[in-house]
Every structure is written in structure tokens, then in C-alpha cells.
Structure 1
Amino acid sequence: MLMLRPLWLLALLPLALLLWALWRRSRSDASIWNRLVDPHLLPHLLVGETGSPRRWPLILLGVGWLLLVLALAGPVWERLPQPVFATTSQRVILLDLSPSLNAADLKPSRLARARFEILDLLRVSTEGQVALLAFSPEPFVVSPLTGDAKTIADQVPQLTTDLIPVPGPRRTDLALRFAGDLLERAGARNGELILVTDDAGNLAGALEMARALQSAGHRLSVLAVGTAKGAPVPAAGGGFVQDATGAIQIARLDPEPLRELARAGGGRYLEAEIGDGDTRILTAGGALGERIDQTELVADQWREEGPWLLLILLPLAALAFRRGWLVPVVALILVLPPTPGQAVGWSDLWQRPDQQAARDFAAGDTQAAAERFQDPAWQAAARYRSGDFQGALDALSGLQGAETDYNRGNALARLGRLDEAVKAYEQALQQDPNQADARHNLDLVRKTLEQKRPPESQPDPSQQDDPQKQGEGTDQSQKDQEPGEQDSQDGADDQADGQGQGQSSSSETQAKADQNDQASEPDTGTADQQPAPSDHDGSSPDASDFGRDALKPEQTPDAPLDASGTAAASQNDQPSDDQPDRPGVAQSSLTPQEREQQEAMEAQLRRVPDDPAGLLRQRFLLQHLRREGRLP
């Protein structure tokens, strides 16, 4: 015996607890009297009936519970053969690609509206086979009869009037004959043809083919696109198509020939409208000649026996109702208080806060991720990315390890506390000497500190008077000093004070600039970041030049996030020298000559014509050449 819905068997767990409680209660009642009275005297001393009748309601409840759960679980033990039926309808859609379809009396154009209508037809063609033909002077196969309408829908947007390889007037009769041959080769006995056009073309020939199709068991419906007011037909070289007198040709919809054509084919005539109401009318029910045939396939279907168990419950329910047991149950259900609402989102049921935060981190919402992260390493990474360097430093306070010291050094450097950053990088290298990122940032910080140290000798006052003679690596405090400001007696003290103030200002300005730079750039791990404005010359590195300073948490979120790409994204956030595919690293590693070659290659790629309809154009041309006998 099998169960169709085995999870319902979990509802037997409360029943097992109920039986266990009854057994414990009966044992406890018996044990009390057994301890006080001899067993052979106990039947004569007990007054009244035993507790067995009082247990009958609970026993009936247990039996009813068991039967109900088994019925809901769906017990089956017999297979029944079930024949398989399939809809074997064949539908051919004929799209007119004559130049008049470019008229814009229907916005954006008649052809665009026709494509929308065909997409609606394909959307409702969930069963059977469907084919798509395009025609103007000749018919062309876009897709033969297939059960996969999606493959046809992918080609519809590329259908334009310039795909037709030969000019000439539209031949609706040839298109109908070609569609009839296609249905005949497929063995269709009652196919459906839907003509999407704005003109009947050669009406006499089209009517003759429509009657022939109806006599063969097929059906022709017409979906007209256009308006009676009409619109000019755009010309290929610009302007509009003109008639023999030089007047602009107006393409107007004449519904009578198309309506007559639909009557001859035994189908319907509809005009295109916004929405899918017209296409649903065309594809409604059996009016399209659909046939449901029994195939040779046989499917097995289980016969469910659960409803028979419900018949056993009916006497129990009647007994419970007569004894008044159902009334308290119904009353209890009615007076139960409503369940209080809780502010729990759907994602809270399936993802822990760290997993939700990692999702926000991968999406770029680092501030929300910092609030949700409970893991301190990831919280530090999120705060660092959001520009809260002090918060990142606080989150790292309770962590140890080489990666933690490296991340702590990055945060200290961003805050302008370069001396402490040097110590943090050195501690990271002591624990992991092979950490190239820490060594790289350590060198940058040391260079910055060397440039900010005061010179050993007093600079020449004449050099201070002439700003043009100052070196590129001098401290900003020397640039701020005006000529003649220093006195020969207290020049050293004033210079020391100026240097101290300049260094403090440099740290503050540097920290602010780095924060702005960090906030404006979502990826701080690129090696080609432009240095933020600082107090020293731009040729020297500062904290914003740390090419590999993104925080790297030692552990990643749980594996379920890998399926959504969150964990992978966070791993990409860990910069290293082994990532040549990072945009910034690639740009910085290119020489001027290589960059010029890359730009030239991109320019050549932009010159490649983007022609998604090229395959259809070549296919139509090959069909035309084969039809003329110029190709085998």
C-alpha cells in the first residue's frame, strides 16, 4: 500500500501522545489503589463502575482521528490503465509582408500590430501544431509545423518587409496554396489557416483557393490590420510611395474583400484591436477544427481508496453529535481568539539574518547589510563598504587573525591613523608572510608617512619665498607659509607648529576625501582608483590609493546563498593579485600602446552590423532560388 500524500501521516503524532497520556493515567490510578488495598479485596471495595466507560469518548476520538488522517494521506494499492489523449490540431499563420504594412495608421505601424497579434496567437496555441508563413509576391516558410510555439515567437520580432528578396504585388492565392500543401504533407484533415493582412490582393484567385481549402476540410479566417482612413506608405529610400501621377499613395483598409474571403473559407473575419480579445475569438474551442485523438500511449493512474474510510467515520460522527460531543468542539473553534500578527517577512522563514544581509551586500545595499549582519567579520565588511570606517574598526575589535589585522589596517588607513595602520599590517604579515595585499598597503602607508615627516634641516627662506622652487614632495604645511612669516629667532618653533598643524589637517582632509571616494565607488578594490584630494602632492600615494584594501571576511555565509550568487559575489569582493579580470586592474596593467590597441578593437567591433534578421533574409533568398530552380 502506498500513500499519495504521506505528509499527512505526521498528524498521527498528536494521537500517539494522547494514547500515551491515557496509558499513563490508567497506570497511575491503578497503582494508587494497589498500594493501599490487597489485590483480591480491591474488586469488592471499589464502589461504582470502573473508569473504562469514561475512556470511550477518547477511544472513539482516537479511532476517528486515525481514520481521518489515513483518508487524507490517500491510501492506494491498485493501478488503473488510463489512455492518453492529445489535441492534434494544425494551425498555419500567414503574415503579409507587403510594403503597405509599413503604414502608420495603427501605431506604431500595421506590421508592428500584426506581430503583436501573432504573438497573442502563439501564446494561446498551447496544444497542437502551428506553422508561420510570410508572403508578398511569393510565400516563404518562417517555421514549419511544430509543437513548440516559443521557437516561432522568438522569430516574430525580426519579421520586416525588407526580408522579401523579390519585389512585386502580393499574391495571397499563392500563399494559400502553399499553406494547403503544407497541411496536406502533414496529413492534416481539418487544419486552421489564419491570414494576417491589410488587402486581399488577387481576390479571384484567393477566393478560389479559399473554397478549395474548405472543401479539403480546412478553415480560413482573416485578421485585418489597418483602418479605413489609411496612411501613406513609407518608401525605402525615404519619403512616401507615389502612384503613377506622382501623388502620395494612401493605403486604406477595404474590409469587404477580406470579409468575403473569410466567408469563402468558412472562417471568421476580425479586425485587429488592442488586447487579445480578437485572437481568443479566432482560437475559441472546437470552431477551429481541433481534433482530440487517442494516442498509443497509456498512463497509469492510482485508484485512491481514502474516500471509503470516510464512510466509516459517518457513524462515529453521528454518535458524537447525539451525545453532544461535537457541540463543544464547534463552540471552541468559534470562540478561539485570532492569532496575533507578527512582523515576520516571508524571507525570515527561509533565511537567517546573516543570509539576508549577504543578499543585500551582493545587491549593493551595504547599509542595510551592516544592520542585519550578526557575523562581526561580515558586519565590518559591510560597514567598510558603506564608508563607516570607524564602525568597521569597532566590529573588528573582538576578532583575531591575519585577515582581521589586515582589515583593521585598511580601516585605520582610511581614518588617517597611519601609524596604527602600519602596526596592523605588520601584525598581519607576522602571522601570514605571504599576504601580498597587506605588504602592498604597508608600502603605501610607509611612503605616505615618509612624505609627511618634517625635513631634517631648515629649508632656505628664499626657497620658501619662491613657490616655484619647492619640490613636488614637500609637505602642505610648507606651502601654506607666507613669505616673510618666519622669524630668524623662532623660525624652527613656528615651522614645527606649522608642520604639526599641516599633518593634522592632512589626516582629516585625507579621511574625508577617502570616505567620499569610498561612498561614490561601489568597488573599492580596484587598483586604478584616482587618489582623493589630499594635502600632499598628487604624485605620492595616500590612503585612497590602496588598490587591494577591500575587507575580506574569514568566513562566508551559509551554502544556500551560493545558489542565488550571493556568496560568489562576496568572494569576488575579496581582491587579490590573481584577479586580472577586474576592470580596474586590467586598465592599470595596460600600457598606453595596449590600451590604444584595445580601443581600436572595440571600435572595429562597433562597426560590425547588427542584423538579427540576417538569417531569415538568407533563408528566404534560398527558398526563392530553389523555387526558380537555381539551387537544388
Structure 2
Amino acid sequence: MFGYICAQPIARSKCQSIGVAKTVDELTLLQTFNNGLSDFHWQRPLWLLGIPAAIFAAWYLLRGQAQNNNWKQVISAELLPHLLQGSLSQQQKWPLGLLAVALILASLSMAGPSWEKLPQPIHKTESALIVLLDLSPSMMAEDVKPSRLVRARLKLMDLLKQRQEGLSALIAYAGEAYTVTPLTDDTDTIISLIPSLSPGVMPLGGSNTEMAVKQALTLFKDAGLMQGEILLVTDGVTEDAIDDIDNQLSSNFRLSILGVGSKDGAPIPIRNGGFAKDRSGSIVLAKLNRGELDDLAQRHGGRYRTLTSSDRDISALASQPELLSEQTRQLEREFDTWIDRGAWLCLLLIPFAALSFRRGWLLVLPLMLIEPQHSYALGWDDLWTTKDQQGEALLQNDQAKQAAETFQRQDWKAAAQYRAGDFKAAAEGFAADDSAQGHFNRGNALAKAGDLPAAIKAYQQALQKDPNFDDAEANKQVVEELLEQQEQQQQQNQDQNQDGDSDQQQDQQSGDSQSNSDQKNNQDSDSQQDSQQDSENNEPSNSDSSQEPDSPTDSEEQNDKDSEQSDSNTPAEDEQANNQSPQESGEEAQESAAEQAAQRMQESDLSEEEQQAMEQWLRKIPDDPSGLMRKKFEHQYRQRRQEYQQGTWQPPANDANNRW
């Protein structure tokens, strides 16, 4: 009895808990149903126009049958039951009704009913390709017209355009190797940087192929990749470099080589108008060692091809099986995707398909599969692609302004505005991205817009997010130098204006009797002042060009060599130091003068004639798109020398800077 009494409340509590659970389940189901109704939408709502079209077509056909098949108008009503078998009207009406229902179901299915959004991970192929581009002096040889380097750059751009998936990187090397772009899936960025690469942007001349291979392996390791492919674009590799490469590469990494040049070779042109010579005074002929390069590629599982005028070379290199073709990498970001439930409605069309099969209606289906012509004016692109996809297509077709108006994603819109030249709007768009890359992009846009102090602050914020952001540090130094030159120029202009005002006051006090002569003297002084100002504006370029000391990079390298060895520089290094450095300094001075002139045009109210004269002067300044790349490599060069003094880095002891 005691147990029975105790069992009563326990059973009641269980019943109560079951009732509560059932209530919770019902509430959860009801809440899910309500959420589904609130989120319900059609992904392709234009297909719903097929519903009224199907209803109208069925009504029109039924109406036509009623008029055309009215036998009562021809045959008397007494004879109809004997002449007609069954009910003709029923046999003709029900197929049209079923056809209308099938078309309605098909329209609902194609409209894409959706009420649930699920996160979808993004997978991309893990294949990685690192291109090593030779920028040694021998790449300027002209046995391949117009030159080896020009043909190699064009061929490399064609190869990257054909690469649709995977990661790609670019390393340029001469006396030392430098990373142009790390591993990325954005091949368009790599292609845009290739035209600015030349031996003139490298801080140290030579041919250090083994250092480039070592840096490529470091990029693979930093990306967490245990396999990858290396493509070497070169006109030759020395024997000691080949031995070093054999020791570095393992079977996990494949090396392919694209040879540039000819067997006979060609002399190497230098900047002063002659050709490179060896220590004995003989002209150096840069020949393509095709056999050694072919053996090197075969030993490491790759292919060798000599550069041709057709696409056979890059087609052969690109047709190799991917090392990681069956593996994919899940990206960190995910996209929420609406699940299309329209496929379930297609199951309801199966009975209609079975009924139509016996009457031969399925033979008409191929006619429905014929694709009509696209009508972009009616929004066909909006039906199949998003605004961001349309903007990407416009950007690839060099329609940056239209792409900026089409993009909905803010960072993509800002990138399109940057390419369109609307730097102020691009800076505002990049401001929404608080990452290091976002601040870096904003700094570039502000620098292009002429707001140098704000650009420096943006670069500083990027360095706070990522202290190892070398590109931000290099751009920050360039902008700081431009800002300093701009301030000096403004100070000089203010001093000249003050001197001109004082002279004008003295001239006004000389009396009314000499007003005409004073006016003439003032004009002479003004013209003399303008000519003096023009000479001062050109003074940095002339002074830099007149000086002929060793370049900073060569002098620092000489100090490092003095601590290690007592050998002197080769003739190639002496020519590079004596000829290349003054020209580069002159170009940098002209670039800074152009920036200052453009800033003055924006800030001051010049007359139309003065603006035209200023624009003509700006057109005379040569365009140097490789200046930023040169600054970047010089910054990395100085960093390595600082690390060498601290004992954390050792320069290569292979005497690579003495190679051509």
C-alpha cells in the first residue's frame, strides 16, 4: 500500500512532464512553421508568369474547340447520338486541363520556392604553382625579338590567364630573389604586376636561381603545402646552381622550365649603349643551355619547353597532371545559401509525363528545350546572375566605371572605383574594411587622391594590424618622402611669394612719374622669377643626375663583401652602379616633381593658359610604373642587410651577383 501511494504522485509527474514536452514540441514546430512562412520567397519569381499564361492558353484552346467542333450547327440533334461515339467534349477537355496543371507545377518548380538558408562551405583545389622569373642582365638579349624579357613576360601572362583554379605566386630574382606576390588565387593581380618587372627594379644584379628555388619552398611551407609545382622561366642556369637545386628539391615538388633564348646566343646590352664584357674585355654571349635545363626538369618530374611564338609551349606545360588534383581545401569563410525546394515539385510531374507518353506528346519536349535569344534589356542577366557577378564580368572587360555602379559588395565596389580613377570614393569604400589589407587599400586610394597625410595614417593602421606587412611599410616610406618634398616645395613657393610682394611694394613707392618703366621692370622681374622657379623645380633632377657615386644598394653590398671577402666588383656591377643609379634617381626626382605639380594644379587657381602649360610639362615626364616595385625590393634589401648585421640572416655565398 505504501508503494502504491508513493507511485501515484510519480505517475502524475511523468504525465505532466510528457504533456509539457508535447507542448514544447508543438511550440517548436509552430515556431519553425512561422519562421518558414516569414522566410518563404521565390528565387526566380519571373517564372510565376507562366501560371497565368498556362491558364489563358487552356481557356483559349477550350474556347476554340467549342466553336470549331460544334456539330450541332451542321447535324441535327436527333442524329448526333447515333453518329458520335462517347462524349467528344469530355475527350477533348481533360487533356487540356491536365496540360494546364502540369504547366502550373512546372512554373512553380522553376520559380524556386525557398524558405531555409544553410551555410555552405567553399572548397577550392589545393594545387599550387610558383613561377620563378629570371631578371638577370642576360634577359635583355635580343636574339628573341623584341627581347627575351618582353617575350617571357607576355608568355607568362598568357599562362596565368589559362590557369582557372588553384593558387599561384610569383618570385623575381637577379642577384637575390624577392617575392612579387605570395600564393593567391587572384591571378589578375599577378598579371597586372608582370609588365613592371625588369632588371632595373632589382637592387642587385646577377642570377641567383638557387635562392629563388629556396624562397619558393619557403612559400610552400608557410602556406602549409607539402606538394607543389615550380615553373622556372630563365635563359640559363649555371652548373653549381643546378647542383644546389638538386639538393634542395624533393620528390614532392615538381620543377618545370620554360627556356628563353637561342643556341647561338646574343650580346647583353647595357644602359650606356654598349654590350657587356668580361674581365678580358671580350663581349659576353648569353647562350641557352637547353640540354642542361631539360635534364634538370626531367630529374624533378617536370617538363622543359623552349619559348615559341605559338601556344604549344604553355599548352604542354599546362597539360601536366595536377599533383593535388583530387584534393581540395575548405576555405575559412562560408556563404549562407537559400535551399531551392523546387525539385520536389518536379516529382508531381511524373504522372503527367506517363500519361503524355502514350499519346506521343513527349516528342514535343525537345522544342521546349530550344534556348531563345537573350534579351538583356528585359533583365536576363538579373535572372541568372547576381549584381556582383555582373560587376565582376564588367571589371574583367575593363569597364571599371560600369562595374563600380553594378557591384553591391562594398569592397568590390571600392576596388572597381579605384580602377576607374575615382580614388576619393574608393577610399571611402575601403574604410569599411578594418583589416590590414583594407587599411592598405585605403592608403593607396588616399595617396592617389593626393591626401598624403591621411594615406600615411592608413598605412600606420595597416602596420598596427599586421607588423610584417612589407608592402604597407614600403608604400608608407614612399608617401612620407613625397610629403616631405611637397612641404619643402610649398615653403620655397611661400618664400618666393614673400620676396615678390616686398619688391612690388618698393616699386609702388618709387612715384607716379616712373610708373610705366616700373611696370616693365616688374614684368622683367616676374619673368626672371618664373624662370628661376622653373630652374629650382628642375634642380633636384639635374643634381641627382650629375652625381655619380655608387648606388645605396651597391655601397651596402660592398660593405658586406668587405667583411667577408676582398674581391672587387665585376664589370657588370660597376656598370650597373655607374649607369643605372643616376638614371633611377633622376626618374624618382621627376616623379616627385610631377606629383608636386599635380598637387599645385589641384590646390591653386591657375588660369586656363597656365593649366595647359602645366599639363604639357607633365606629359614630358616619362611614366615609370615600376617605381613602386623598385621601392619595395629596395626596402626588402635593406631589411636583409639589417638582419645580417643582427646575425639573423646570411647572404648567399655562391657569388651569384657575378653571373650574367
- Scaled by the length of structure 2, the TM-score of the pair is 0.47
Structure number with greater Rg is: 1
Higher RCO (Cα < 8 Å, 6 or more apart)? 2
